[in-house]
Structures are given as structure tokens and as C-alpha cells.
Chain A
């Protein structure tokens, strides 16, 4: 755990990717296999589940430190992170230990199966033999909130440096449904046959947002299609079994059972990249229709009828069991068309149609129609491009419609977490409803660090009331809020809920008397909801 804590500190404290990657590669060269495996798992979001409630942990820590609960809460609101607060308030440890990362994770699993008295004793004993940095990580693992500031891409690069293997091969090996309980370091990284796992997906190719049409060159080099507003998915059919992966590498096969039919229409050894869309009468439904199906492990019949889904197919990555990602987009797309053209209309799959255009003006006009088609904008793909992995510039671009916007006034502020602890970064916004201000959304991104600091200083001086970590502030500052969509929501006082709300700019020029009204929001709901 000491080495892992040192690794974490080096990654956490540095902003230089070279330093982070070198630290990680160094660790992969020296750590024992089971610790390396757990490190990959943790750094790729395969966290152990939380088995002990945060309430218990904070009570035990406060008790061990001899502090009243209110003072623990006060400290937590300043630190902004539960595990860190616990690590900092506990008294200096009485013992030392040099157990490994794997030992402590196993210990957590063991404790989870025991009764509360044993858990409490086990955790207090563990805290009492670790210095602050290790305590923090151990507690992060207990709360299930472990995160680290290194991307999967950088981790894979470090792994490539340490093992001498190719980065792309490793990327592929690390995907899929494994956990440290189901595999070993040797199987996952060193073993010969990387295709042993039939469910293993390819890394998704992700597009950057387009900022300038002029950089694209001739329109004839490009294919355009709608940017569908659903869930990106990779459909895999191998060995008679199908799997559906999300972009976040989550297996979602059972959430969309209707796609099982595709086994009857598609040849074996097929991998398709596409969008899961709620779809009826040959038209996509809005994202709102799909929303209730996200996050559900099983789907009730009613939802299957109300929000039937299809796979809107836009790329073919594997054909007849062969990886064809290096073929051109045009070639892959022709194969894709051939594969699905014979499927009957009742089969839940469609080809994402190309949007024909001869010049950029035509395409600009097409982009304006996006919202009415329930699309988010357009996708531009270069005809001769291979299917790359990760977010890359140059061959694929997303060209989203401009967001909807509304001016609102900040009425509550809350400190952020992690890097933003101690800064007020999470705000609640309101619009006028007659003479009253009605809150309608929260937002916490879109401003610069300097602006967040400026607002933090202001919030400290203009707090009217505190509700735990939340501060009610004098309504004064106006922000332009951008969002991607708006739905009716009976749960919210305003009656609406926004999609991806964020702060587009701080309107220092605008007095709060001029912010939008709840009626303006309701008009937007009527038009775009």
C-alpha cells in the first residue's frame, strides 16, 4: 500500500502527463502481479462496490478522533471529500504496517461479509496502522469513490512502456468484462491469445467538436450523417452470442433485450458501431423517451412498448470475424449496408442515412434542421479514414447545433469536490416567476478558475444563510446557462429539467432584473420538449 500511495501521490500532485506516465510505468515494472492487476482495475474505473455506508464511516472516525459529529461535518464541508476528511482528523497512527494494496482490498471484502461490530473493529485497526496518505486511499476504496487523475489512454501508454507491448493491443486487452476476481495479470496482459474473450469490444473512436468548416477542404472528401441523440453502443455478434457495450465500457446487453433478434439477421463475426435510439414509425423519439431505460438492469414490458429501441448502425468494425478497422470508411460502410440490407423492417436495426450535400452551405442548412429530427447535429467523416481508437483529430468531426440558452441569477452556491474543494463551484440558478425567483437548474462547469475564485470570494462575503454545505447568497450575479434539451419534470418546483446545463458566460453586464422568466422556460419546453 505504501508503494501504491506513493504512486498515487506522484500522479495526483503533478499536472505533467510525462511525470504521471513515468511514475506509472515505473510502478508496473516493480510491483507484484496482483497489485498491478488491481491498479489497472482501479485506474480503469473497476472499483470495488461500496459495502459500508458513509454514515457509519464518518461516525466511527469522529468517535476515534474524539470529535463531535457537527465538527466532523464542518471539517467535511471545508475539505470537500469524505475519505480525506477522515484521513486528516484521525489521530496519529499507533502502529505501522507494510501490507500490499491487494491485502487491503481483500481485507475490505472480508470485512464486508462480517457483522457491524467486526467491521468497525477491523476498520479502526486498519486506520490505526496507516499514515494519512494510505488512510485516504483505503477509505476511498471503502466508500467506493476511488478516482485518479490519469486517463485510461495514459495508463495504457505506461503499461506499454513497462511491458514492451503495443499500445493498441493493450487497449483492446483491457476492454471488456473482467475484474481482478475473474482474471490474472498473466491472463490479461501476458497471455498469447487476445481474442479469447468473445465479448471483447474494440475501443470506440471519438470525434472532436468542429470549430471551423474551412479546415475541412473539399466537400467531396466527406460523408455527413445525423448525430443521433441516443446512447452510443457497440454491438458484437460472435460465436452465436451477442453483446452490447456502452462507450463507458459497460455491458448493456440485458437493458435492450429487443436487440437479441439481430442474431437471426446478421452473420456471425460481426461488430457494429451505432446508436441505441428509441424509435417508432420510422422516426427517432426524443432522448426523453429513452431516459427511463438507462440505468435499468431489467426492462418492464410497458417500457418495451412505450420506448422500443433500434440500433442505428453507422460503422462496421469486424466482418466474418476479421478486424476491418483499417479499411476506409467508404469500404466499411458499403459492407455495413450489404450486411443489413436484407434484414426485414421489423428487425431493430437501421442504417444511419447519409445526408447528401454538394457544398457547405447546403450542409449548414441541414444542420439547422437537427432539432426537429431529434438529432444533436451532424457527424462528418472523411471517406478514406480508418476507424481509430480514442478521441482523435482530423478524420471525424461532430458538428452540434448551438445549445439553447437562458439568462438566470445565482441563488445558492456549494463548494466543489476534489480539485475544487474549498472553492464555490456548484451553483443553483433561478428565473423570475412574477416577483419571485424560482430555482430551475444547477450547473458547475463552464467558468475559468479565475472566475471561480472571484465568485468564491464574493460568496463568502454575501452569504445570507447556510444549510450545511449549501450557502444561500444574495441574488445578484447573472449567468447565461446553455443546455442541450428541456423536459417536463413534475419533481422540480419549476416543472422543467434541463439536459447538460452549464454556464456559457458570466453576464456582468446584465442586472438581475433582466433575467428570463419561468414563462420563457415553459415556451422552450413547448417548442423543444
Chain B
């Protein structure tokens, strides 16, 4: 029996349908799980993504990119393969892609998390024969703070700074993490200012009907002193630049799964590190994999070597495949 998907130097390939999933070299036909730069790369002949993922992709890839869309759960025949997209819970519009050929179903997870964040369509496990999974945080030291405790931690930090008349600068990735934090915090505490790169994404998401709290874009004309005690959402890059200096003696924090590690926290040299990720933690990965019922598991990026060995010891037929996905690279998010 031929494999439904194969692993090539351009990306994950389906011979029966002659298409690629999240390829990293230009190909004619690309099925895309979500809009992050390591999964949706420029130069493809055509793209297929969910309705909800397409607007951000169009913005990032430019107006010439040919993007077709489909809804979650909608089946589409491509050549001899049947294809459908299912929520991955990673960012709004992110999908797992299920490919079925002659009764054999394989699922490509893209990036995913198993807990609901109140913003992305919640992750749904899909029964399959083979599951191609990320394992960015595939070590047992990663266990995320529950969403309600996280909300309390961030709100308490912001409220204390606001009371002391300080800005609270929170660093987060522009697509996904930033909006998740926006829907996590309590807007009653004070105004929320955003860096332009984040606000661009906010505009697109609002445009497709996603509700986000009121935010104020920081432009060169903004007098930030008009918003004392504000929460400032910034990209990781902007936090290190002169842009951040206009907020004076602000308290700084960073939101990322890597904040679980003291060494990384201290290296970031922020006042606070909030442990929050849009990837699955150790328990999330294990429960997601078990829920698929798949016997064959391929791990694509993250702590692949130990995670594969762990899966083998749990009785799975597990393999590492080499890809160019970066997951949650520490420098990014």
C-alpha cells in the first residue's frame, strides 16, 4: 500500500493528489495549515486555506498570491485524494489537514494547541491512520498555566503598574499570541496601546468578524502620556528598539511558552515572564496523539529526537521527519 503522504525536500507531498502541505520551496499547489511565515511561504502557484486563515495570508503574501478557501469540515477532492480542514486551535483559522486516499487517512497537524484560548476555533482530534505532528514543546518540563490563572497573573501585573502610574509593556508575536492576550486581559483596567505590526493584524481579524477589545495604534503622532497606566502590546523586536523608550520607566513582560524556563526568563531580562503558548504542552501533545487513534506518528519540529523515542516506548510506530518549520522559535515568540 502506497503512502498517502511522502516527505520530500520541498515539503510534505501527496502523490495521489499532486499537492504539497506547507511546503518550504515553491511548488504549483500548496495546502496551507495557517498563516505563520514558516508554514505559508511566498512563491507558490496556488494556495488552499480556510476562510478564516486567508485574509491574514493575503496581507502577508501580497495581492498577487492566488488563495482559494474552504470551510472547516468541508471535503474537497483533489486528484485521487479527498481533503478536509479541521480546527487546530493554534491561531484563528488554523487547521489540521486530513488527506484520505483509498480509505487511508493521514492528518497533518500544522501547529496546534489542545486548550481553548477563547479566540481560535477549538482543537478537534481527527481519527486517522497516520498523524504528522509538531512537538515544539515535546519535553515533560513544559506544562502551561491554566487560562484563568494566566488571566489573573497578567491582570494583577497590569493593575499594579497602572496604580503606580507605570506603563505595562507586554511582548507577543503579532499574529495569534497578541490577539489571544487581548481577549485574555480585562480592558476595564485601562487603555490598551498596540504596536503597528500587531494593529495591522487586529484590523484584518476585526474585518473578518472577530471581536477584539478596543485598542489604540501607537503612531509617531501618538502622545503616549495621554494614556497613563496603559497596557502596551509590542512585538518582541519592537521591545528591544528605541520605540519602547517613549514609555519611560515601564514594567516589561514577555508571554511565551519558553518563559517556563528560568534561564530563558532571566536572559530576556524582563520584569515578568508569563507562560503562555499557542503550541501544545507535553500533556497536550500526548493526549492529542492518543485521541487520533493513529498507530503511525511522524514528528516534524521541536524536540523531535526524545519525543520520538518516548512515543516508541509508548507503543507507537514513531518517526522523525526533517522539515523547515521553526515552530515557536525562541527569538520570535
* Residues of chain A with a CB closer than 8 A to B273's CB: 13
B163 on interface, CB distance cutoff 8 Å: no
Q: Shortest distance in angstroms between A179's beta carbon and chain B's nearest beta carbon?
A: 27
* Residues of chain A with a CB closer than 8 A to B139's CB: 71, 74-75, 78
Whether the pair A89, B140 counts as a contact (CB closer than 8 A) is: yes
Whether the pair B267, A71 counts as a contact (CB closer than 8 A) is: no
Contact with A along B254-292 (1 / 0, CB 8 A): 000000111111110111110000000000000000000
Please judge, given known A-B contacts A71-B306, A79-B141, whether A13 and B263 are in contact too, CB under 8 Å: no
| CA gap between A12 and B269 in the complex, in Å | 10
Whether the pair B141, A75 counts as a contact (CB closer than 8 A) is: yes
| CA gap between A67 and B142 in the complex, in Å | 14
Whether the pair B310, A88 counts as a contact (CB closer than 8 A) is: no
A414 on interface, CB distance cutoff 8 Å: no
Please judge, given known A-B contacts A13-B271, A68-B313, A71-B306, whether A421 and B261 are in contact too, CB under 8 Å: yes
**When the two chains form the complex, which single residue of A12, A67, A149, A422 contacts B140, counting CB atoms closer than 8 Å?**
A67
- Name which residue of chain A comes closest to B142, CB basis: A88
Whether the pair A71, B310 counts as a contact (CB closer than 8 A) is: yes
Binding site secondary structure of chain A: helix
Please judge, given known A-B contacts A13-B271, A75-B139, A75-B140, whether A88 and B260 are in contact too, CB under 8 Å: yes
* Residues of chain A with a CB closer than 8 A to B269's CB: 15
Binding site secondary structure of chain B: mixed
Q: Shortest distance in angstroms between A141's beta carbon and chain B's nearest beta carbon?
A: 16
**When the two chains form the complex, which single residue of A79, A149, A449 contacts B267, counting CB atoms closer than 8 Å?**
A449
Please judge, given known A-B contacts A71-B140, A85-B141, whether A422 and B272 are in contact too, CB under 8 Å: no
- Name which residue of chain A comes closest to B264, CB basis: A422
Whether the pair B313, A88 counts as a contact (CB closer than 8 A) is: no
Max chain A CB contacts within 10 Å: which of B139, B140, B330?
Answer: B140
Contact with B along A338-370 (1 / 0, CB 8 A): 000000000000000000000000000000000
- Name which residue of chain A comes closest to B249, CB basis: A16
B143 on interface, CB distance cutoff 8 Å: yes
A19 on interface, CB distance cutoff 8 Å: yes
* Residues of chain A with a CB closer than 8 A to B271's CB: 13-14, 16, 19
Whether the pair A418, B263 counts as a contact (CB closer than 8 A) is: yes
A80 on interface, CB distance cutoff 8 Å: yes
| CA gap between A419 and B263 in the complex, in Å | 4
B215 on interface, CB distance cutoff 8 Å: no
Please judge, given known A-B contacts A13-B271, A71-B140, A74-B139, whether A79 and B313 are in contact too, CB under 8 Å: no
| CA gap between A81 and B266 in the complex, in Å | 13
Whether the pair A12, B266 counts as a contact (CB closer than 8 A) is: yes
* Residues of chain B with a CB closer than 8 A to A150's CB: none
Whether the pair B263, A422 counts as a contact (CB closer than 8 A) is: yes
Please judge, given known A-B contacts A14-B271, A67-B140, whether A79 and B263 are in contact too, CB under 8 Å: yes
Q: Shortest distance in angstroms between A465's beta carbon and chain B's nearest beta carbon?
A: 13
Please judge, given known A-B contacts A13-B271, A13-B273, A89-B140, whether A81 and B262 are in contact too, CB under 8 Å: yes
Q: Shortest distance in angstroms between B77's beta carbon and chain A's nearest beta carbon?
A: 41
The B-contacting residues of A in range 110-151, CB under 8 angstroms, are 136, 149
Please judge, given known A-B contacts A65-B140, A75-B140, A88-B141, whether A423 and B267 are in contact too, CB under 8 Å: yes
| CA gap between A147 and B308 in the complex, in Å | 35
A-B contact count (CB 8 A): 75
A467 on interface, CB distance cutoff 8 Å: no
Whether the pair B143, A70 counts as a contact (CB closer than 8 A) is: no
Q: Shortest distance in angstroms between A393's beta carbon and chain B's nearest beta carbon?
A: 25
Contact with B along A11-34 (1 / 0, CB 8 A): 011111001000000000000000
- Name which residue of chain A comes closest to B267, CB basis: A419
* Residues of chain A with a CB closer than 8 A to B265's CB: 12-13
A84 on interface, CB distance cutoff 8 Å: yes
- Name which residue of chain B comes closest to A78, CB basis: B139
B309 on interface, CB distance cutoff 8 Å: yes
Please judge, given known A-B contacts A78-B139, A78-B303, A79-B141, whether A13 and B272 are in contact too, CB under 8 Å: yes
* Residues of chain B with a CB closer than 8 A to A149's CB: 266
The B-contacting residues of A in range 407-431, CB under 8 angstroms, are 416-423
- Name which residue of chain A comes closest to B331, CB basis: A453
* Residues of chain A with a CB closer than 8 A to B310's CB: 68, 71
Contact with B along A77-95 (1 / 0, CB 8 A): 0111100110011001000
Q: Shortest distance in angstroms between B103's beta carbon and chain A's nearest beta carbon?
A: 36
| CA gap between A84 and B140 in the complex, in Å | 12
* Residues of chain A with a CB closer than 8 A to B306's CB: 70-71, 74
Max chain A CB contacts within 10 Å: which of B142, B260, B306?
Answer: B306
* Residues of chain A with a CB closer than 8 A to B260's CB: 88
| CA gap between A502 and B306 in the complex, in Å | 33
| CA gap between A12 and B309 in the complex, in Å | 34
* Residues of chain A with a CB closer than 8 A to B263's CB: 79-81, 416-423
Pairs A–B under 8 Å by Cβ, sample size 17: A12-B265, A13-B265, A19-B271, A67-B140, A71-B139, A74-B303, A75-B139, A75-B141, A78-B141, A80-B263, A88-B260, A92-B143, A136-B262, A418-B266, A420-B267, A422-B330, A423-B263
Binding site for A on B (CB under 8 A): 139-143, 260-267, 269-273, 303, 306, 309-310, 313, 330
In the A-B complex, list the 6 residue pairs whose CB atoms are closest, starting with the nearest.
A421-B263, A88-B141, A419-B266, A74-B306, A15-B269, A89-B140
Binding site for B on A (CB under 8 A): 12-16, 19, 65, 67-68, 70-71, 74-75, 78-81, 84-85, 88-89, 92, 136, 149, 416-423, 449
Further pairs besides A13-B266, A85-B141, A421-B261: 9, Cβ < 8 Å: A12-B266, A71-B306, A71-B309, A74-B306, A78-B303, A79-B141, A84-B262, A417-B263, A422-B330
